[in-house]
Amino acid sequence: MGENRLSGRSITIERVAALFFLAGLCVLCLVYFSSFLQPLILAIMLWYLIYELRVAGGAIKIRGRQLPAWLITLLAFSIVILVILGVIEIITYNLQLIRQSTPLYLANLRVMLNSIQEIPGFEIVQQRIVQRIESFDFNPILTGLLNGISGMAGNIFLIIIYVAFLLAEQSLFAKKIRLLLSDQSRLGAVQRIVSQVNSAVRIYVYVKTLMSILTAILGYFILLLFHVDFPVLWAFVIFLLNYIPYVGSLVATLLPSAFAVFQFQSFSIFIWIFLSIQAVQIVVGNILEPKVMGKTLNLSPLGVLLALTFWGMIWGVMGMILSVPITSILVIIASRFPGTRFVAVLFSETGELPEQ
């Protein structure tokens, strides 16, 4: 009897040890192969977006006739790629302008600090701030951003190739799965997983992109209203960071608001811009987006926060952007296996999972 208990405990310990070993190995692989995995995952996200655009384009008729599927796919692919390349060009141009205008904004900040130095006890603080500003060089930061965008442009061409091949072979995916799995029960289970993953990720990518575009457009007009420089750049920042849950929208609101302080030498402008953009973020992100997306992802707020932290530690900002769809896929897969179903329950919003 005692031997059976010891044997059971040893098996449990071995399983836990094996689980931790596999988890550590997976993390190492994610870090080591990040340069390969990140472009591939981005390509898959774009593939889902193009799929939704293709579905929407299927409703277009010319003289009562529907456009050919290959033509709709080509148009959707071309639109997405041209928009991405155009945005990269615009952002690069805006960053170059900011680098040229940096001395002007720093001079504005010095003027603003000098205007409030009459406050008792502020003289020493003001001197230290001015010294820090004069000693701090923004050029390496802006140069690093420009170099990062150049590197991103190189990855874009790799991503375009991935997307092109995904589009070319997408009609064969179902056939390959059927050929790989001869067992009908296993085939049905895999098909259900693939269907659920496709549905969740497709809806997330499409809705999140639309909501991010809407938020960016409204933010752009707000910045135009307040005459903030480089509104296109800040609109893109709002669009991109909107994919990062919780902290992304806040940072996207703070950045143009803080920049306005440098431009207008006023703290009051910060408050007005921050409140205006944040109001848009709340309406779109907390009211409109949940109504459109519904409970597609079934992820708890704590689960999203943990995923955000984990993927951010591994892949940085890119990991934060991709954290939600990746975690959603992993939760769907984990829910289909008895040994990992508890993980899916913990990460789900209500603890309720679809029947296997």
What is the share, in percent, of the chain residues with pLDDT greater than 70? 81
The encoded tokens of residue 88 equal 């990269």
Domain range annotation of the chain? 32-170, 201-295, 297-356
Whether 248 contacts 241, CB under 8 Å: yes
Q: Residue 267 has what pLDDT? A: 81
pLDDT tens digits, one per residue of 253-309: 998 998 888 888 888 888 999 999 999 999 998 888 887 776 667 788 888 888 889
Q: Measuring CA to CA, how many Å separate 229 from each of 139, 250, 339?
A: 18, 20, 54
CA 316/CA 322 separation, integer angstroms: 10
pLDDT tens digits, one per residue of 122-168: 566 666 666 666 555 556 665 655 565 555 666 788 888 999 998 88
Q: Residue 217 has what pLDDT? A: 94
Mean pLDDT of the chain, nearest integer: 80
Q: Measuring CA to CA, how many Å separate 56 from each of 12, 142, 198?
A: 51, 39, 17
The reply to whether the predicted model has a pTM over 0.85 is no
pLDDT tens digits, one per residue of 81-131: 898 888 888 888 887 887 777 778 777 777 776 666 555 655 666 666 666
pLDDT tens digits, one per residue of 197-233: 888 888 888 888 999 999 999 999 999 999 998 899 8
- Span 225-254, mean pLDDT? 89
Residue 5's pLDDT band (cuts 50, 70, 90) = low
Residue 340's pLDDT band (cuts 50, 70, 90) = confident
For 111, residues 6+ apart whose C-beta sits below 8 A from its C-beta are 265
